[in-house]
Structure 1
Amino acid sequence: MARTGPDHKARTPFLSRPGVRRAVPFVLITAVALIFIFENRSSVEIRLLVPLVTMPLWGALLIAWGLGMLACVFTVRRRSNRHSQRPR
């Protein structure tokens, strides 16, 4: 028998939830990026404007990935703040 009382809430399937739908591509891309980063273990020379630095390639890729994630967070936060303001 189906429940129709006030305490019954319709359940949304797990993969249909908005938070999950946004998180799944992020998790997949992050997993692939981290696998790629840690598979590249050779040392390389990197020029940082003036100094020439020798470091593992995975370190440079990890730094670039982290800066990209930071830029993404600021972009998404800025976009959501802009859309949440009401016109006066």
Structure 2
Amino acid sequence: MTRTTTGKTHESFLARPGVRRLIPFAVITAIALIFIFENRASVEIRLLVPIVTMPLWGALLIAWALGMLACLFTLRRRPSRHSRRPD
């Protein structure tokens, strides 16, 4: 952190906790999307009873999106570290 002439501290962009959590997510997402779109062959997929023929990238993209939704539903927001507990 650096102090400005007004006395306020300035935090660098990469030092912010939200940005530091976003970087691994962005890297993993980019790698997953590259892997998904490199697999373009058509495959047969059994959906309980019916058999569907579709591109593998479509099936992988659907699985990735469902995983992201599951992650969003299971994440809990942590309480603020700076909030005071009543004594």
State TM-score, norm by structure 1: 0.80
Mapped pair 1:43 → 2:33: no
Query: Where does residue 18 of structure 1 map in the other structure?
Result: 17
The structure richer in strand per residue is: 2
Partner-residue secondary structure (3-state), 1:53: strand
Q: Per-residue CA shift, 1:7-61, capped at 9, x if unaligned?
A: 4321112211001001000000000000000000000000000000000000000
Partner-residue secondary structure (3-state), 1:27: helix
Gaps of 5+ in 1: none
Match for 2:70: what amino acid?
Answer: A
Distance 1:37 1:3, change over 3 A: closer
Q: Report the Cα distance in structure 1 between the residues aligned to 2:59 and 2:73, rounded to whole angstroms.
A: 21
Give matches, 1:1-88, under 5 Å: 7-76=6-75, 79-80=76-77, 83-84=78-79
Number of residue equivalences = 79
Gaps of 5+ in 2: 80-84
The structure richer in helix per residue is: 1
Give 4+ residue runs of structure 1 displaced > 4 Å after superposition.
none
Match for 1:68: what amino acid?
Answer: G
State TM-score, norm by structure 2: 0.81
Q: What is the deviation of 1:3?
A: 5.0
Q: Percent identity of the aligned residues?
A: 72
- RCO higher in structure (CA 8 A, sep ≥6): 1
